[in-house]
Amino acid sequence: MNSLPEHNERKNIFVIFLTFLFVYVVLFEFILPVNKILPKPTLLYESYISLWFDYNLLFAAAVTTTVVYFALIIGYLFITFFSMGIVKLMIEAPGLFNAPRIFRYFSPFFFALLFVYWFDDSFLAEMVFGFLIAFYAFGLALYKSIPAIKIEYVDFAKSLGAGKNKIYSHIVWKSCQPSLFGEMKKLHYSLWLFILTYEFIAQTAVGGIYRTALQYNDLAAIFALGIMVCILILFGNFVIGFLKKKIIYWE
Amino acid sequence: MSSENILVVEKLFKEYSDNVGYRINLLRGITFKVKKGDVTTIIAPTGSGKSSLLKIISGLEKPTNGDIAFADNTKHIYIPSKPSSYPWLNVRENIVFLLSPIDNDKFVKIIKLVGLDGYEDHFPHNKSVGFRFRISLASALIRSPQLLILDEPFNEMDSITKSEIYLLIKEVNEKLGITFILGTTNISEAIFLSDKVFLMKKNPGEIIDEVDIELEKKRTIDVMDTEKFVETRRKIESIFKSHKTQKLFTFSI
């Protein structure tokens, strides 16, 4: 059940949203129907129909969401599956994991350009690009969460006779899970950004539609697409939040 | 080692290097014996190396020098000062953690003894420190140890929970005959629970004296108001005070 402050916060957001919607409709439908700032609401509605048929929105959205969520899920599963080995390496050879931190200073835009240059508009390459970002982010989150593991958990397990492997799998991995899910929430936003950028460069899927709409100066399409992506991110965020509550029930 | 002792610690030293490379003597020449079936407490100020000493005895840390000898086949378990039950496991899973096969009769007996009967499916993450300590104690007891090492377990407990846990420890000690070693900064707590206390100073950690607690083995909380209890407390306080004075005197020379 939601707490009262949480409920009030949601109510406030809803009221603000309705206010903005009202102002938008009044301002751009009746007062400023022709402008270069925001499209007319009725035009926006028509634009969805055009996006659906002319830009093949359904297929594009399917590709983009598949890449984003596939990367997120596979990245997480990959870390989970190899958790014991990765955690062991992180504790016993931390130097190995310091080296890839250099990638923090590279913009993902650079890698997107490289990937598009190497693989053109390949769907598989886009998947690999998304997976690598997710794996790197999860790996880094895991690495950062290790020093925060409560030493009393490890000491008590050792005292109860747990061996190294049992400690890694039953305590270290479990202790790292809240930060991994925290990372998943952050990564969800950034993956959408990176994948849309990748597609914008490669001119495929939703990012590709953005580019085409920009080339045709189709403000209504850009705006309509923005709303659609926003709804998809909102829905994804809700699902991740729900999963976090179910899986990390002790937080 | 004589047959009445369960543990003998002899000339234990622990040194470490701090951030700038200075060698720090944490423990110096710690020597003491623990009798089978006794509750033995180490009273020491914060930062004296009490936890390190208990961890060394438990085998979780290594000493720089010295000997630790247990009586044959002594199974010992260390319970840390902070709650150590796993929040992602329920009470039952915590108690039987990594245990196979599980003796159900023993589980029922232990869970009743520690007062967690009926809470088997509860999760500890939103429970009190006292509740979580009971889980840790049950996890230890189900493994039938001969020696339990408790590192300041009462630190974050309220006074009512503290009294309940004191009595629980006394009950476990009497009913199961388990030997306890406790580390604490609280003199009253040490007197109430123990058969013998060792007083330890800091910088470096050294045993400065030992006091036998001459109270009846069976105790209730009311014993804290008795003349004998107050006397023992005064005695321990005066030992600590005289040692402090002595140290200041040595420094002034």
Q: Please give the Cα distance from A135 to A231 (Å, whole number).
A: 25
Same domain, B35 and B126: no
| Token pair listed for A242 | 């729900």
Same domain, B163 and B45: yes
| Token pair listed for A49 | 């129909």
**Chain A residues lying within 8 Å of B81, measured CB to CB:** 152
Q: Please give the Cα distance from A204 to A64 (Å, whole number).
A: 9
Q: Please give the Cα distance from A184 to A75 (Å, whole number).
A: 10
Judged by CB atoms closer than 8 Å, whether chains meet at A156 and B82 is answered as no
The average pLDDT across B66-80 equals 95
CA–chain centroid gap for B28, Å, is: 20
State residue B245's pLDDT score: 54
From the CA of A69, how many Å to the nearest CA of chain B?
26
Q: Does A152 touch chain B (CB under 8 A)?
A: yes
Domain end residue (candidates: B144, B173, B194) = B144
Judged by CB atoms closer than 8 Å, whether chains meet at B136 and A160 is answered as no
Same domain, B137 and B194: no
The amino acid at B96: V
**Chain A residues lying within 8 Å of B183, measured CB to CB:** none
Same domain, B151 and B243: yes
Judged by CB atoms closer than 8 Å, whether chains meet at A156 and B84 is answered as yes
**Which chain A residue is nearest to residue B88, measuring alpha carbons?**
A250
**Which chain A residue is nearest to residue B137, measuring alpha carbons?**
A156
CA–chain centroid gap for B62, Å, is: 19
Q: Does A246 touch chain B (CB under 8 A)?
A: no
pLDDT for residue B249 is more than 50: no
User: CA dihedral defined by A54, A58, A62, A64, rounded to 10 degrees?
Assistant: 40
Question: pLDDT of B183-242, one tens digit each?
Answer: 999 999 999 999 999 999 998 999 999 999 999 888 888 999 999 999 999 999 999 998
Residues 6+ apart with CB under 8 A from B105: none
Q: How confident is the model at residue B248 (pLDDT cuts 50, 70, 90)?
A: very low
**Chain B residues lying within 8 Å of A160, measured CB to CB:** 77, 97-98, 139-140, 143
Would you list the domain boundaries of chain A? Answer: 1-38, 40-247
Q: Please give the Cα distance from B42 to B185 (Å, whole number).
A: 8
Q: Please give the Cα distance from A94 to B30 (Å, whole number).
A: 35
HEC per residue, B36-54: CCCEEEEECCCCCCHHHHH
**Which chain A residue is nearest to residue B80, measuring alpha carbons?**
A152
Tell which residue, B198, B201, B205, B199, has the closest CA to residue B64: B205
The average pLDDT across B151-168 equals 93
Same domain, B91 and B113: yes
Dihedral sign computed on CA atoms, order B39, B40, B46, B52: negative
DSSP A171: I
pLDDT for residue A193 is more than 80: yes
Whether domain A40-247 has CATH 1.10.20.10? no
Tell which residue, B175, B177, B248, B238, has the closest CA to residue B209: B238
Cβ(A130)–Cβ(A70) under 8 Å?
Answer: yes
From residue A117, alpha-carbon distances to A110, A120, A196, B240 in Å are 11, 6, 16, 76
Least confident of A11-15, A201-205, B168-172, B248-252: B248-252
Q: Please give the Cα distance from A83 to A78 (Å, whole number).
A: 8
In the block, which residue shows the tokens 């926003």?
A230
The amino acid at A148: A
| Token pair listed for A44 | 């926006």
Same domain, B90 and B33: no
Same domain, B13 and B119: no
**Chain A residues lying within 8 Å of B78, measured CB to CB:** 155-156, 159
**Chain B residues lying within 8 Å of A250, measured CB to CB:** 87-88, 123, 125
Cβ(A150)–Cβ(B88) under 8 Å?
Answer: no
Same domain, B169 and B229: yes
From the CA of A178, how many Å to the nearest CA of chain B?
11
CA–chain centroid gap for B247, Å, is: 27
**Chain A residues lying within 8 Å of B129, measured CB to CB:** none
Q: Count residue pairs from A and B with Cβ separation < 8 A.
A: 53
Cβ(B129)–Cβ(B162) under 8 Å?
Answer: no
DSSP B82: S
From the CA of A98, how many Å to the nearest CA of chain B?
21
From the CA of A44, how many Å to the nearest CA of chain B?
48
Instruction: Report strand pairing: B179-184 vs B39-43.
Output: parallel
Same domain, B240 and B164: yes
DSSP B69: E
Q: Which domain holds residue B220?
A: 5-75+146-252
Dihedral sign computed on CA atoms, order B192, B193, B196, B199: negative
From residue B140, alpha-carbon distances to A157, B95, B144, B161 in Å are 10, 8, 7, 20
pTM greater than the 0.95 cutoff: no
From the CA of A192, how many Å to the nearest CA of chain B?
31
Dihedral sign computed on CA atoms, order A55, A57, A61, A62: negative
Q: Where are the beta strands (DSSP E) in chain B?
A: 5-17, 23-35, 39-43, 65-70, 76-79, 147-151, 179-184, 196-201, 206-212
State residue A34's pLDDT score: 84
Q: Does A178 touch chain B (CB under 8 A)?
A: no
**DSSP line for A189-206:** HHHHHHHHHHHHHHT-HH
Same domain, B199 and B164: yes
pLDDT for residue B24 is more than 90: no
Judged by CB atoms closer than 8 Å, whether chains meet at A160 and B143 is answered as yes
B107 class by beta-carbon count within 10 Å (0-12 exposed, 13-18 middle, 19+ buried)? middle
Q: Does A249 touch chain B (CB under 8 A)?
A: yes
ipTM topping 0.85: yes
Same domain, B177 and B246: yes
The average pLDDT across B117-144 equals 96
The average pLDDT across B90-103 equals 94
Judged by CB atoms closer than 8 Å, whether chains meet at B136 and A153 is answered as no
Count: domains in chain B: 2
Q: Please give the Cα distance from A192 to A107 (Å, whole number).
A: 15
B224 class by beta-carbon count within 10 Å (0-12 exposed, 13-18 middle, 19+ buried)? middle
Same domain, B167 and B67: yes
Q: How confident is the model at residue B155 (pLDDT cuts 50, 70, 90)?
A: confident
From residue B48, alpha-carbon distances to A86, A208, B180 in Å are 37, 66, 20
Q: Please give the Cα distance from A202 to A74 (Å, whole number).
A: 23
**Chain B residues lying within 8 Å of A162, measured CB to CB:** 98
Q: Does A166 touch chain B (CB under 8 A)?
A: yes
Q: How confident is the model at residue B247 (pLDDT cuts 50, 70, 90)?
A: low
Residue to test with chain A: of B61, B79, B88, most A Cβ within 10 A = B88
From the CA of A173, how many Å to the nearest CA of chain B?
11
State residue A3's pLDDT score: 67
Residue to test with chain B: of A151, A155, A171, A181, most B Cβ within 10 A = A155
Q: Please give the Cα distance from A116 to A127 (Å, whole number).
A: 12
Judged by CB atoms closer than 8 Å, whether chains meet at B97 and A174 is answered as no
